[in-house]
A = this chain, B = another copy of it.
Amino acid sequence: VMSTSWYDLKRKEEVFVNRSLTLENIKCYGFDMDYTLAVYKSPEYESLGFELLRDRLVSIGYPHELLGYTYDPTFPTRGLVYDTTYGNLLKIDSNGNILVCTHGFEYLKCGQVDEYYPNKFIQRDDTDRFYILNTLFNLSDTYLYACLVDFFTKSTRYKNCQKGFKHGDLFMSHRSMFQDVRDAMDHLHDTGTLKERTLKNLDKYVIKDPRLPVLLSHIKEVAKLFLATNSDFNYTEAIMKYLLDFPTGSKNPKKPWRSYFDLVVVDTRKPMFFAGGTVLRQVDTDTGKLRIGTYTGELQHGTVYSGGSSDIVCDLLDVRGKDILYVGDHIFGDILKSKKRQGWKTFLVVPELVKELHVWANKASESLGIISYFAVMFSHLICSNSIMVTYGMDLCYGKMGSLLRCGSTKTLFASQLLRYADIYSTSCLNLLNYPFSYLFRAPLVLLPHEAAVESQTKEQMAELSEHMLKTTNIKV
């Protein structure tokens, strides 16, 4: 068991910066709900999702032996790619180079990867074949794909083929199993089973944090505030009530959740919301049903809307894209799209970062001492060691390694985080740790040629380093 270091603790509460951002300029804060305001408890929630999917597959005819599998939170990592042709889970970098490849729970070795992908590379634009498991909701099915391949590979009844498994006239192609899991997902969604089970046991599945109403109250004093969720009204109502409708002390008596927001929009259908969007309707908050017709009036406080688009939100709240800080957990639906299409400022919530920071700090400090952590800044000096270090760290994150790295290579997810999220943190609550006048200052990341130092100058560098430390008045 790793012990939690002091650095670790502090960093969990930090907001990290990819591009400088002045909070003072933000006139409007937007929040996604699921996994952003409402953080689901891990692994309880993923286990629930996994079991419902698994049981659905069995109910449509998959072998009963599948019921023997239970969710293992140490296996899946967000952002993996499923190859629907060969049934492999792939960890890739932003260019499509394969970093890790598993078939079921088996890690493929270099030569085995070659057989499937001679160039160790996929054309990730081929979205018909390669499915990116982008969200935290996908952890359940990521694990399920591995279970399915594991089961059929080991079963003596089935013959292994490259594109699936054969049993008499029946061919279980990876593609058709993928389709079955997608359909099971849709079934869960359409029947509301997952939501129902969640709402029945909110304490088990959703984290309630008394700081959330505090955060929203603080924001509301300085800026506009909206909620934009793909969930429907009834689910949103139940979740938000649970999260916000409680007394937070004598100073802050209980007040209805909707009063925290200037605008509440459900059924947003992100990412479409950031492009054309849909018709904006009012929700009848007594019945949960949509009012007919399109709402055209001024913004009404306490009113809940359904549908619409990011443009309509800007109009109703009278703000421009660059004045909005949007906080979400979905790298594609929330962050990439709001940034690329609308130029919004973006805050990505990355719950996995708790663990990422923990491993990074512990490994760095414990195994090799803080030196190796610092060493990376001087990687030209002792780089070969640090690479071994980072590889060594990989398994500490879980069986598929870190969300963000594979050794020194960044994952596709990390690349997107860097490109599209202005700031990111383990939780949106960490905004509480900064004044609303704060300037989130991005570290100046140097291009290789800017940082490059000739190997001949090593010694000079050491001198310069000393000089620098003196000049900047840091006591050595």
Question: Which residues of the other chain, B, contact A467 by a CB distance below 8 angstroms?
Answer: 370-371
Question: Which residues of the other chain, B, contact A375 by a CB distance below 8 angstroms?
Answer: 468, 472
Within 8 A of B (CB), among A446-476: 446-452, 454, 456-459, 461-469, 471-472, 474-476
Nearest CB on B from A218, distance (A): 21
Q: Which of B94, B322, B408 is close to A119, meaning CB atoms less than 8 Å apart? A: B322
**CB-CB contacts of A419-463 with B at 8 A, as 1s and 0s?**
110001000000000000000011111111111101011110111
Q: A294-B171, A468-B371 are in contact. Are A11 and B376 (CB under 8 A)?
A: no
Contact B462 A469 (CB under 8 A): yes
Q: How many copies does the complex hold?
A: 4
Question: Which residues of the other chain, B, contact A353 by a CB distance below 8 angstroms?
Answer: 449
Contact B357 A449 (CB under 8 A): yes
Contact A465 B476 (CB under 8 A): yes
Contact A95 B289 (CB under 8 A): no
Question: Which residues of the other chain, B, contact A339 by a CB distance below 8 angstroms?
Answer: 95
Nearest CB on B from A289, distance (A): 6
**CB-CB contacts of A176-187 with B at 8 A, as 1s and 0s?**
110110000000
For this complex, 10 residue pairs linking A to B, each with C-beta atoms less than 8 Å apart, are A16-B449, A61-B289, A97-B343, A169-B298, A176-B292, A371-B467, A371-B468, A374-B464, A376-B450, A404-B447
A380 contacts chain B at the CB level, 8 A cutoff: yes
A52 contacts chain B at the CB level, 8 A cutoff: no
Q: How far is the CA of A456 from the CA of B357 in the complex (A)?
A: 18
Taking Cβ atoms with an 8 Å cutoff, the residues of A that contact B are: 7, 10-11, 14, 16-20, 57, 60-62, 94-97, 118-121, 123, 125, 164, 166-173, 175-177, 179-180, 190, 278-279, 281-282, 284, 289-298, 320-322, 339-343, 353, 356-357, 360, 369-371, 374-383, 386-387, 390, 404, 408-410, 414-415, 417-420, 424, 441-452, 454, 456-459, 461-469, 471-472, 474-476
Contact A294 B172 (CB under 8 A): yes
